A = this chain, B = another copy of it.
Amino acid sequence: MNTDLEIARSVQLRPIQEVAQKLNVPADELELYGKYKAKLPLHLIEESRWKKSKLILVSAISPTPAGEGKTTVSIGLSEGLNRNGHQTCVVLREPSLGPVFGIKGGATGGGWSQVLPMEDINLHFTGDFSAIEKAHNLLAALIDNNLQSKTRSLGIDPRTVLWKRVLDMNDRALRQVVIGLGGTASGVPRETGFDITAASEIMAILCLAKDRKDLKERLGNIFVGFTFDKQPIYARDLNAQGAMAALLKDAIQPNLVQTIEGNPAIIHGGPFANIAQGTNSVIATRMGLSLADYVVTEAGFGFDLGAEKFFDIKCQSAGLSPRAVVLVATIRALKYHGGVALSDLKENNPEAVRAGLPNLEKHLENIGLFGIPAVVAINRFAGDSDEEVAIVQQRATELGVEAVVADGWAEGGGGTTQLAEAVVEAIDRSEGDFRPLYDWDLPVEEKIATVAAKIYGAKAIDYTAKAKADLRKIAGLGLDKLPVCIAKTQKSLSDNPKLLGRPKDFVVTVREIEIAAGAGFLIPITGNIMRMPGLPAEPAAEHIDIDAEGNITGLF
């Protein structure tokens, strides 16, 4: 069997100008980055067009170690739609560099459903993550510089500064650090830490900004901490937003690349799906919809995390009206939810599939809450038995939903035309009456309760003393009208990662509530959130290499 990298290498890439033609973008509009990558100018976004085109969200059941393949299905589906004659662009997140050197390889799809050039996209790409990292760390440097200042001090209490630094690297030793050591010339000693760049609030901001003006305003709104007099300090108090926005001059423009079959793919931004909105940028989505009749996009983790935030935060903020959800499931993942051990997932086990179905069912119910039609995509793996597949399809039919086998991994667009057809039919049948789950103007606790009860299936919410204090702080800052971006484990519908399938009668505990005033949401934390991964005992980095001609190996 070929590796993803071998498959990627076997494909003759088209000049990116040819790919742009499929979106009717003239070559001279492109800001080229080599021959196969380009940035798109923001003036190509047209409201009259993006409001009319059809937005399809690819989401998934609760993730398992077996893997579900949302990105692969998203890319495959866009190939299928294009094969069926529907002008389609897939719009995805940019992969994070750090994890490439850890366990997994890249995040550009797999098999015959990939976006290319995969080495570039998985490494520095067009520098967006680096720009975000620099903008983030500039604010940190300005904060510590103000702590050091005698003449222009804002009186910031260093113990209240929540703004950390970021690096796009799996580097656990940086999670908790003490900086400012070495005497009076080298800053004020204080505790802080580093997150991975994808976890930066700047990433969330860039991906929610509608244009450069909105970007700068959001950057200025970043909440930094308090003065010794308990007054809030925002990034604008440090005059940081102009320079930060200047650093993001190019990063705000979406990137155009191609799929294996030479179709357009826009890749832009990559925020986390627990502490942030987990989806590509508003600008990229609007760009895709401005240039193509259909846009396929995805949101991180399961429907309860990425998709809920996609709808309630991104779509509500940006006025997007998604037309369909493709819910990705695999036979293996369903068996895992049905109680089968990871090592036994390859064995035929129809009963386990049946036992895992309640997880799928709950996510389908949740999709219904948003008024959008759903299609189940069974992402095919070698070894899935016909009987197992039939069980899923039968149950879906009982629920009034079509479940289609997708085999974009092995067959590219040829394996997804049926799925594409089902999606187009679902869109054509529905009225397109997307509605978000809650109103942003509701009290914070009510917003949390709505998501926890309706989406997760919780019977109650518990708040720690810290979380209650945070609620008061948020009210005091006048930030209680922001939507809630609940940080929860992706492994379970509940906040307990061990509860597979469809947990019931559980209580969700809100431990604290963070403020992302720049991004424009609150982050109720319901568990341990990893913002800076570590490397494994044998890092993938040890096997990555490049030859004298510049050919990279070991990326997958």
A400: CB under 8 A from chain B?
A: no
Could you show 18 A-B contacts with beta carbons less than 8 Å apart?
Answer: A32-B33, A32-B34, A97-B134, A101-B141, A123-B247, A124-B131, A130-B133, A142-B535, A145-B535, A172-B185, A175-B182, A177-B179, A211-B548, A212-B547, A239-B543, A243-B544, A245-B546, A249-B550
Q: How many copies does the complex hold?
A: 2
Interface string of A229-250 (1 = CB under 8 A from B): 0000000001110110111011
A176: CB under 8 A from chain B?
A: yes
A398: CB under 8 A from chain B?
A: no
Q: Are B167 and A137 in contact (CB under 8 A)?
A: yes
Interface string of A529-556 (1 = CB under 8 A from B): 0000011011101111111111010110
> B residues within 8 A CB of A142?
535, 539, 541
8 Å CB contacts to B: which residues of A25-71?
A: 31-35, 39
Q: Are A173 and B149 in contact (CB under 8 A)?
A: no
Size class of the A contact interface (CB-based, 8 Å): 35 or more
Alpha-carbon separation in the docked complex, A161 to B300 (Å): 38
- The chain B residue sitting closest to A150, CB to CB, is B537
Interface string of A241-269 (1 = CB under 8 A from B): 01101110110000000000000000000
- The chain B residue sitting closest to A250, CB to CB, is B124
The distance from the CB of A241 to the nearest CB of chain B, in whole angstroms, is 9
Interface string of A116-127 (1 = CB under 8 A from B): 000100011001
A429: CB under 8 A from chain B?
A: no
Partner of A550, one of B182, B212, B543: B212
A181: CB under 8 A from chain B?
A: yes
A170: CB under 8 A from chain B?
A: yes
Q: Are B544 and A242 in contact (CB under 8 A)?
A: yes
Q: Taking A148-B534, A546-B212 as contacts, is the C-beta distance between A141 and B170 under 8 angstroms? A: yes
